[in-house]
Structure 1
Amino acid sequence: MSSTASQQSVRSMMRRSTLNEGDELNILTFCTHERYEQGLCKTGHNFYSMNHGKTWNTDYGLIPANYQEIDIVPWHVNFDLILCHTSCERIMTAKQIQQLFNIPILRHTHVLPDIRFDVSSQIASFNAIEVDHDSFISRYNMEEWGKNLSSTTSFIEHGIDTDFWSDGDSYDRENVCISVVNDWPNRDWCCGWNLWQQTVGFNSPDQLPIKVLGSSPGLSEPASSLEALREEYKKSSIFLNTSIHSPVPTVLMEAMACGCAIVSTNNCMIPEIIQDGENGLLGNTKDELRSHCEYLLNNPDEARRLGDNAKATIINEFNLDRFVESWNKQFFNV
């Protein structure tokens, strides 16, 4: 270890020994989902994001003032912890930095084991990498990786900025099924591209009224801004989600916050959020999903009831205040 790294390590240890809950932390991290990190920045801490692999795409959200992209670790900053989203090649970089600075690693896992490959070996490899604390985006996600709640394992469910998504102008809703997915045709295995085509009768005489947003060349373009995306949600009566292997699509929760009636597959964490017949309609086959869409297209009052209940679910159970409070508690526990 160089003398500079040694000095920085000592400074970080001394700083952590005097921290009180509510103090601003200096967190070394790596870029993940932009809107998720916007929510994280609401904790008020200082985030320094290593340009390693993915970098921030401003098409999906502006960079907050307390989030700084860096190419090298700044030696003048006394870091308090490393936040590594998901266990990919970046976790090994985090381990190297940890050895230099003697700071804890918090690994926060968004994804599920990839069902295209051997799941048991993925779980074994994941658990072979030791970190100071593991957290997950849901209990379901945690258990799929072979983990249980403990002093070093936790989960924090998504938080949606209801001040933003539930705000804005009100519109007369079009009788249309909106879906929002990036690179959809190439991600059929997790996002259900083929299931969606079969459900809506894509490019057939029986095609349902649809609207698709997201960066999928030849199919759709992303909304020009978050405000434009919010407007599209609010103009649409139904949000159709056909994900197959995704813990919970953030866009589904955004659409709920905007009052869309939800029609969705019934898998992963989704049934923990959507109660069939109460705040959405669930199904796993093309016939079930299409039947739900047709029913809501023909019954706008029921679509409105489900949409209002979906919005209330996000406001009451998955709001940003709860998310920020949970993250701040976790940061200081680590």
Structure 2
Amino acid sequence: MEIESARAIVENIPLSPAIERELRYKARVRSTHYSTRIEGNRLTLKEAEQVIENKKKGFHGRARDVKEVKNYWDALIKVEDWAENKVEFTEDIIKRLHSIVEKGKRAKPTSYRDGQNVIRDSQSGGIVYLPPEAKDVSRLMAEMVRWVRKAEKDGIPIPIIAALAHYQFATIHPYYDGNGRTARLLATFVLQRDGYGLHGFFSMEEHHAHDLNSYYGSLAVHKHHNYYEGRASADLTAWIKYFMALLSKVFTQAKDEAVKRVKKFVPREPKELRQLDRRARVVFSLFSKKDKIVSSDVAQVLGLSNRMVRVLLKKWVNDGWLIVLDTANRSRTYSLSAI
């Protein structure tokens, strides 16, 4: 009920596009930094933001850390794009998402592991978790995807589906590396696609990172480290409780921040502005600092390809809120229309 209450308030609160963009951007940066930090990334929050904004290309001896941050940012942008377009939850989506996390946005979808993976304690070297054997991974992943799609049709609450998708992916551990980051992104995808994105104003990754003992402890639902010794049939109540309580917390914080901001912006937005979708609102906010924009401005702020940006700009011109300046010039500029 706390989740639903916060969601209803944020969905209907009249925030300006500039404030929406700021809150979403800050949450994205925190999600990127803390999700990679959980896996051992050594960049600070400030350094991660410098990498994201291309203000600093690298840090001595931390090329891998820089790459992880860039890849996670790109993966998060892709998740938001898929969610906005209601892309179906499939194994192909999972493989494409993991490839971005591990190798970058131009990489081919990655196949599941072909050998055994072992999670060990970093200090003692002892086995923490032994996932399913490679021969069982494809079947288990197919079953997970079928369950998620059936659960959606059966009306199981979306936050619970997101929680269980996160848990089951991490449990199967279908790759040698990048499983934790991909699991957290999949949960975000389910939440955003099915109405629990909260405009992207929250970061669960930040709270996972601040209390790793609770995060990992809730995922370890069975005392035995071997998947085949009870993990598949374990009681998942502890994990569900952890995930729901945390989601309630971050939703409430996002709601409180939005309410605080709206008190400084009393006038209600006109109908034309309220009809703009998320990406249009982000681009609209660019005009708070400049009178005209170019396609590269849009590509940078949305994290999309030039081809996709051209499609969107053409649509927005046809919708009537953008106009093209200097049409004879190959490098077109755009400004707001009279409305």
> How does the TM-score come out when normalised to structure 2?
0.32
Higher relative contact order (CA 8 A, sep 6+): 2
Going by fraction, where is strand more abundant, 1 or 2? 1
